[in-house]
Amino acid sequence: MSPFEAEALWLSLKVAAASLVGVIPVSLGLALLLARGRFPGKWLVEALVNLPLVLPPVVTGLALLIVFGVRGPVGSWLHDVFGVTLAFHWTGAALAAGVMALPLVVRPLRLSLEAVDRRLEEAAATLGAPPLQVLTRVTLPLAAPGLVAGAVLGFARAFGEFGATVTFAGSIPGETQTLPVAIYTVLQRADGEQAALRLALLSVLVSVGALVIAEWINRRALSRRGA
């Protein structure tokens, strides 16, 4: 692996991992809200969560630039108060990847939360468990397969994210030039095809690896449950 390839691979892993760290708690909250909540405007929350699925990624990136850019309402506040700049930084690439991954993490998590047998939660309550403990000791463990599925889909989506990342974070080698962005960049060169293929192979390996790990975790969970 050349230093250029290693750098792009490492950066992609870092960006995808960081985006998941942020996305999973947010998805958990949203999935619970959508699976269990009854409130006016629920459809609006649902539509907003799924928006990145239907919008062209470039448009999502542009929206991020408008809101989180240095002159954007949130971006300028982050810059002034915390000294944090997201646009054209690797953290911005993670934000873009996270926003794109969000609907893919929320959906399976929500479905598996909806499938959790509420009668088991009742049983937990009669044994003395307060609501929050019912959530962490019964509901979430039973919904774990959905969390794993969501995390893998989300990781794959974040790892492969291109459009929103390029628009919001650019293509800065070592900072925001993730594998997909690097593939696009080397393809711009006349002799870049070979290099692009090598990068593409790396990206396929990582994605397949993530799938295999997820399958292994799921099988282990199922066999532990005796199913």
Name the residues that contact other proteins, by CB under 8 A. 117, 119-120, 122-131, 133, 137-138, 141-142, 144, 224-227
Write out the two tokens for 200: 């593409």
Which residue's CB is nearer to other proteins, number 109 or number 182?
A: 109
List all residues 6 or more positions away from 111 whose beta carbon is below 8 Å from its beta carbon. 146
Which residue's CB is nearer to other proteins, number 38 or number 119?
A: 119
Query: Cβ 109 to other proteins, closest distance in Å?
Result: 16
Query: Cβ 29 to other proteins, closest distance in Å?
Result: 22
Query: Cβ 4 to other proteins, closest distance in Å?
Result: 46
How far, in Å, CA of 206 to CA of 123, rounded?
A: 42
Residue appearing with tokens 């750098």: 7
**Contact present, 31 and 106 (Cβ < 8 Å):** yes
Query: Cβ 134 to other proteins, closest distance in Å?
Result: 8
Which residue's CB is nearer to other proteins, number 3 or number 128?
A: 128
Q: Chain centroid to CA 196: how far?
A: 25
Which residue's CB is nearer to other proteins, number 123 or number 201?
A: 123
Q: Where are the alpha helices (DSSP H) in the chain?
A: 3-36, 42-54, 57-68, 73-82, 90-115, 118-126, 131-134, 140-142, 144-160, 163-169, 179-187, 193-224
Count Cα atoms within 13 angstroms, Cβ side, for 101. 35
Query: Cβ 154 to other proteins, closest distance in Å?
Result: 23
Which residue's CB is nearer to other proteins, number 127 or number 197?
A: 127
Which residue's CB is nearer to other proteins, number 41 or number 130?
A: 130
**Contact present, 176 and 89 (Cβ < 8 Å):** yes
Query: Cβ 28 to other proteins, closest distance in Å?
Result: 17
What is the maximum span of the chain, computed from C-alpha positions, in angstroms?
A: 70
